[in-house]
Structure 1
């Protein structure tokens, strides 16, 4: 669960959200800060050495001082390069650790959300938040604290050195700081609006690619390529316009800061030069002070960068908070009830009511399926058969009534345990990228080679399995396999899961009758004695049954069976 729901300061929330992933690397973060301080110190010493080189060495005619200071310059240069290299590599490791941790945190939350969330949310929008928005928050959460710490250290050291050279010139330069602050505050709304527009257009483009690539075969078949290209060009135009506005906003805010920094340098030239001409300052002091004025602008630029970065991060954090606000519809109980072993697979629905908003799908549905029975579930399209499956696997909980497995309410069972016991094979099974072996082990990671081959054999893919089929790539969207092969691989996965209840959701729909009957025979052979629910529009393809129930008007209505079975409906 993502802890972003409490009210409070958004910057603090960004840092608090990242803190659990940073906490394990606190030592590495502290080391990076120390290395950063060393690098900043090495960068601040050269102007001071320059003052001595000019005044004591060159003007004073001391070549020994010149050579000593040149050696010191070289040592600082080498040390600075080494420290910077070590610091950047350490930062890369820390930054990657935090980014990956935050992304895993979001992905973990996404796995708890109900199917309705994915039905109403564009895939590209989710991808944009999972990738771009998380990366933006990560950059701010790591870069901002470290950048500000380093900037504060550099500013304090530079201020001390500048005061030692000339209090008057120091006061002159730092008198411009209020102007820097005012310029930043004035640019805030512009920066925030432009960042929001860029993230929205990026999400829209991601959604376009996700949806169009998934539908490419349909686009080709309908000769819609030109229209899709025109839509892509429109997305490009909108994205470029938003990107240009964001760039103009950043350039404007950054440009004002650079102008003010340059103004400080010019003031030092003018005032310091006149003081040097009057003999009140040495040339070396003026040269060193100009260098420090430039370096003192660095921390101010860093603060400005953090400010502008926060405007972008704030937008991304808000988008992530919207995702975090999507609460899981179901969770495992704190103290789940264990099923008695062995699990029989007895299912019972007691006056189950469920709907999506105002639309009622199940309205007082009751059903008793004794363990080991094979039941056909029929009903018109949209009657709620898929909803019933989602309730059996507890993607949702009923609005009223209960569903029980072996006498235990589903909401009292551990979710992972329930979904191991109730397995669904649908008409378009999902196969993950990789090989057939990868897909079988997706549900049974510890299964050995013999178990995989046996599962394929039982599913009717013996020749396929022993001809190197385990190593066969399934292809993008399982396009390298026929539909029959995909269904049999899904059946092999169910065999490996060893469920107590198997649900076939239109599994044989659209297949030739002999192929459909062969798959049903394999199911009946392997899962004999297990509870089976077959959702179908064609009873001729599902073999012998113990009963038929129709889902009609939110109720489960028993149909006359082909042979007398035990009662399936129980008065409630």
Structure 2
């Protein structure tokens, strides 16, 4: 579960969300911080050495001092390169661990959400949040604390060294700090609005690509390619406009900070140079102080970067929180009941009511399906047949009434076990990227090739199974397979799952009658004695059935397959 609450402590939430992953790498974090401090200390030594090089070596006429200090500079240079390389590699490993962990949390939560969420949410919008928004939060959660720690350390060391050189010049430089803070506060709303606009346009463009690529054959067939290109150009224009506004906001905020930093350097030149000309300071001190002033601006720039990063991360965190706010419609009970083994597959609907918002689909519907029976479910398109199947697999719970499997309420069973016992093969089965073997093992990871070939043979793909078919790639959107092959592979997956209840959801719709009858015959042969529910518009394709059930007006009407439809269990 994603622990994000609705309150004003968003920075703490971002850190708290990432903290478990950071804690797992506590040793690496300590090492990175230590290396960062070491690198900062090494970067602060050159100005001090420069002061000695100028005053003691060059002005003082000491060649040996010049050589010694040049050697010290070389050692610092090499050490800095080594420390930076080790630190960056360690940081890369830590960042990847946190990023992947956060993304897996969001994805885990997405897997618990109901089909209605995906029906109303564009795929590109979800992808944008999984990719860009999670990465933005990760960068802030890792970069901000480490950057601030390093900035504070560098600022303190620089302040001590600057005070040792000239308290007056130090006071002049740090008098500009309130102006830095004020500029950041004034830029905050602009940064936040522009970042939100970029995220929205990026998500819109991702959605455009996802939806267009899925529909490419239709686009080609309808000669809509020019219109799609125009749509893409429009998205590019909107995205560029948002990106330009965001860049202007960042450039404006960062530019003000650089101007203020440059103003500090100019003050040092003006005041320090005048003091050096009057003999009140040595040239080496002025040169060193200018270098320290530049380095002291680094921590201030870091703080500004953290602030601007937070404006971006806050937008991303709010977008992720919208996903977190989506609650699963169903969950496994804390103490699930166990189905008696073997599972028989008897199903009972007892006064079930369900709907989407104000639209009622089932209204007090009741039905008994005897274990091992074969039922045909018919009804007009959109009447709610697929909704009934979703209830049987418990993607939703009834608003009223109850559904039982072998006498046990579905909401008292463990979800994974229920969905292993109630399996659906629909008219457009989903095949995942990869080979036929990959798709079969998607439901049976431990099955060997012998079991996979047996399932293919039982599903009517014996020739396919013995012709290297396991290694055949299914192609993008299963385009390398015919519809009949896709259906039979889905049936082979169902065979590997070995369910007590098999549901064919318009599986043979649109197929030639002989092909449809052959698939149903394979089901009857393999699943004889199992409960079978066949949703269809064509009873001629389903073979012998024990009952025909019609869904109409929110109720279920049952008839014998040899008699006219009679309202036996009608509830309106």
Structure 1 length as normaliser, TM-score? Answer: 0.98
Partner of 1:474: 474
Residue of structure 2 equivalent to 1:205: 205
Gapped regions of structure 2 (runs ≥ 5): none
Contact 2:345 2:372 in 1 (8 A): yes
Looking at structure 1, the residues matched to 530 and 23 of structure 2 have their Cα atoms a distance apart, in angstroms, of 49
In the TM superposition, residue 558 of structure 1 has moved relative to its aligned partner by 0.6
Query: Structure 1, residues 412-460: CA drift from partner, whole Å, max 9, x if none?
Result: 0000000000000000000000000000000000001100000000000
User: 1:63-92 deviations in whole A, cap 9, x for unaligned?
Assistant: 111111111111111100000000000000
Q: By how many angstroms is 1:323 displaced?
A: 1.0
Aligned to 1:297: 297
Equivalent residue, structure 2, for 1:76: 76
How far is the alpha carbon of 1:23 from its aligned partner? Answer: 1.5
Match of 1:443, SS state, is coil
CA distance in 2 between counterparts of 1:407 and 1:308 reads 59
- State the shift of 1:559 in Å: 2.0
Cα distance in 1, alignment partners of residues 568 and 449 from structure 2: 40
Equivalent residue, structure 1, for 2:98: 98
Q: CA deviation at 1:282?
A: 0.5
Residue 370 of structure 1 and its aligned partner are, at CA, apart by 1.0
Distance 2:127 2:559 in 1: 46
Q: 8 Å contact 2:349–2:365 — kept in the other structure?
A: yes
Structure 1 partner of 2:321: 321
Q: In 2, are the aligned partners of 1:113 and 1:329 still within 8 Å (CA)?
A: yes
Contact 2:124/2:208, CA 8 A, preserved across alignment: yes
How far 1:563 sits from its partner (Å)? 7.9
Q: Aligned pair in 2 of structure 1 residues 111, 526: CA closer, same or farther (>3 Å)?
A: same
CA distance in structure 2 between the partners assigned to 1:458 and 1:560 by the alignment: 30
Displacement, 1:8? 4.1
Shift in alpha-carbon separation, 1:328–1:87, aligned structure 2, 3 A: same
User: Are the aligned partners of 1:546 and 1:563 in contact in 2 as well (CA < 8 Å)?
Assistant: no
The Cα offsets for residues 351-383 of structure 1, whole Å up to 9 and x where unpaired, read as 000000000000011011111000000001111
Distance in 2 (alpha carbons) for counterparts of 1:37 and 1:568: 80
Contact 1:427 1:507 in 2 (8 A): yes
Give the distance between the partners of 1:120 and 1:298, measured in 2 at CA: 46
Match of 2:334 in 1: 334
Q: Are the counterparts in 2 of residues 367 and 568 from structure 1 also a CA contact under 8 Å? A: no
Q: Superposition RMSD on alpha carbons, in Å?
A: 1.3
CA–CA separation in structure 1 for the residues paired with 2:94 and 2:438: 32
Uncovered stretches (5+) of structure 1, i.e. residues with no partner: none
Contact 2:365 2:570 in 1 (8 A): no
Say if 2:173 is the partner of 1:173: yes
Give the equivalent residue in structure 2 for 1:227.
227
Say whether the 8 Å CA contact 1:109–1:324 is kept in structure 2: yes
Would you say the 8 A contact 2:557–2:568 is kept in 1?
no
Could you tell me how far apart the structure 1 residues matched to 2:349 and 2:6 are?
38
Instruction: Map residues 227-376 of structure 1 onto 2, 5 A cutoff.
Output: 227-376=227-376
The TM-score, its normalising length taken from structure 2, stands at 0.98
Deviations 1:287-307 (A, max 9, x none): 000000000000000000111
CA distance in 2, matches of 1:478, 1:297: 57
SS in 1 for 2:442: helix
Rounded Cα–Cα distance in structure 2 between residues aligned with 1:376 and 1:21: 51
SS of equivalent to 1:481:
coil
- Retained in 2: the 8 A contact 1:368–1:568? no
How big is the shift at 1:401? 0.3
Shift of 1:30: 1.3
What do residues 32-87 of structure 1 show as CA deviations (whole Å, max 9, x unaligned)? 11100000000000000000111111111111111111111111111000000000
Q: Paired residues, what number?
A: 569
Query: What residue number does 2:48 align with?
Result: 48
Residue 437 of structure 1 corresponds to: 437
Q: What is residue 533 of structure 1 aligned with on the other side?
A: 533
Q: Would the aligned equivalents of 2:355 and 2:362 in 1 still touch at CA under 8 Å?
A: yes
2: distance between equivalents of 1:493 and 1:540?
Answer: 25
Moved >3 Å (runs of 4+): 567-571
In the alignment, does 2:211 pair up with 1:188?
no
Structure 2 partner of 1:395: 395
Contact 2:506–2:534, Cα closer than 8 Å, also in 1: yes
Rounded to whole Å, the distance in 2 between the matches of 1:161 and 1:407 is 80
C-alpha distance in 2, partners of 1:455/1:214?
Answer: 30
Which residue is 1:149 aligned to?
Answer: 149
Output the CA distance in 2 between the equivalents of 1:75 and 1:562: 96
Contact 1:369 1:568 in 2 (8 A): no
CA distance in 2, matches of 1:539, 1:2: 47
- C-alpha distance in 2, partners of 1:211/1:337? 42
- Partners of 1:468 and 1:206 lie apart in 2 by 37
Retained in 2: the 8 A contact 1:421–1:500?
yes
* 1:517 and 2:520 matched: no
Using the TM superposition, give the Cα deviation of residue 6 of structure 1 relative to its aligned residue in structure 2, in angstroms. 4.9
Alpha-carbon separation, structure 1, partners of 2:458 and 2:25: 49
The structural deviation recorded for 1:277 is: 1.0
1:279 aligns to what SS in structure 2?
A: coil
Cα distance change of structure 1 residues 223 and 570 upon mapping to structure 2, 3 Å threshold: closer
Find the aligned partners of 1:339 and 1:93 in 2 and give their Cα distance.
45
Contact 2:556 2:570 in 1 (8 A): no
Q: Deviations over 1:158-204 (max 9, x none)?
A: 00100111111101100000010011111111111100110010011
Q: Is the 8 A contact 1:517 1:542 kept in 2?
A: yes
Aligned equivalent of 1:492: 492
Q: Deviations over 1:549-568 (max 9, x none)?
A: 1001010101232289xx99
Tell me if the contact between 1:198 and 1:239 (Cα under 8 Å) persists in the aligned partners: yes
Measured against aligned partners, the alpha-carbon deviations of 1:224-266 in whole angstroms (never above 9, x if no partner) come to 1111111110100000000000001100110000000000000
